[in-house]
Amino acid sequence: MKFQIIAGELCLDFINTLDNRLIPERRQELIQSYEDLLDWATQAGALSTAQRALLLREAESDPKEAAAVRARAVELRECLYRIMTAVARSRRVSEDDLSVFNAYLGEALSHLELRRARKGFRLAWPENHSKLDSVLWRIARSASDLLSGDDLESVRECGDDTCRWLFVDRSKNHSRRWCDMKVCGNRIKARKFYRRQAARNVV
């Protein structure tokens, strides 16, 4: 599947993988399987194609664990959705959501290691890690960076009522209203077309 990566932040693009979230009859789960999760992570730049291939092989040899990780990914995503929309709407984030998120974050950070860099050291994920949930570590880290950084006040929901995808507004004058004109522009066009058709049918 080809995913739309538009949010400017890994964790927000992940939240957007439940499409048409607010319209029950059109809601679409884009992460149907562990392989979907790997495809999304690769397209979003969180995994290399070599890492994707390694994790896919592991998943094929342990489908039960792969299904469990996919279920946890969805739990993490929905928790992040509640946290980030609360932030975007200037509401208080619930303690329950914070504690669920902190459990994921603690697990993620326990895998970070200090590695020698050209100048000093840097934090990095272990290379060639075959743990299936290593995809979730990157999402949790992205969310903790966003929540504790200066970009937090630029988290926005798409202005289209049926879309509401999340993104970081890094535009110069903080005026970005839409997730992406290619995505939302098309939705708006489709709706206008539908309305025109409906109007014609009335006559």
In the complex, the smallest distance separating the C-beta of residue 98 from Zn ion, rounded to whole angstroms, is 27
Tell me whether residue 20 or residue 43 sits nearer to Zn ion (CB atom): 20
Q: Which is nearer to Zn ion, 85 or 144 (CB)?
A: 85
Name which of 83 and 179 has its Cβ closer to Zn ion.
179
Q: Give least dist CB 5 to Zn ion, A.
A: 13
Q: Closer to Zn ion at the Cβ: 21 or 138?
A: 21
Out of 34, 158, 166, 167, which residue is the one contacting Zn ion (CB under 5 A)? 158
Does position 160 interact with Zn ion (CB under 5 A)? The reply is yes
List CB contacts of 23: < 8 A, sequence separation 6 or more. 162
CA nearest to 46, candidates 183, 140, 154: 140
Proportion of the chain in helix, strand, coil states, percent, rounded to 5: 55, 10, 35
Contact string 166-185 vs Zn ion (x = CB under 5 A)? -------------x----x-
- State the Cα torsion 150-151-154-160 to the nearest 10°: -160
User: Using CB under 5 A, which of 165, 166, 167, 176 touches Zn ion?
Assistant: 165
Please report whether residue 15 would count as binding Zn ion according to CB under 5 A. no
CA-CA distance, 166 to 194, in Å (whole number)? 25
| Cα 57 to Cα 34, 39, 75, distances in angstroms | 11, 14, 24
**Between 34-43 and 134-147, two packed helices, what is the crossing angle to 10 degrees?**
50
How far is C-alpha 190 from the geometric centre of its chain's CA atoms?
A: 25
157 binds Zn ion per the rule CB under 5 A: no
Phi-psi region of 45 (alpha: psi -120 to 50; beta: other; left: phi over 0): left
| Smallest gap from residue 167 Cβ to Zn ion (A) | 8
Closest CB to Zn ion among residues 95, 161 = 161
The answer to whether 163 contacts Zn ion (rule: CB under 5 A) is yes
Taking the least distance from each CB to Zn ion, the nearer of 67 and 168 is 168
| Contacting positions for Zn ion (CB under 5 A) | 158, 160, 163, 165, 179, 184
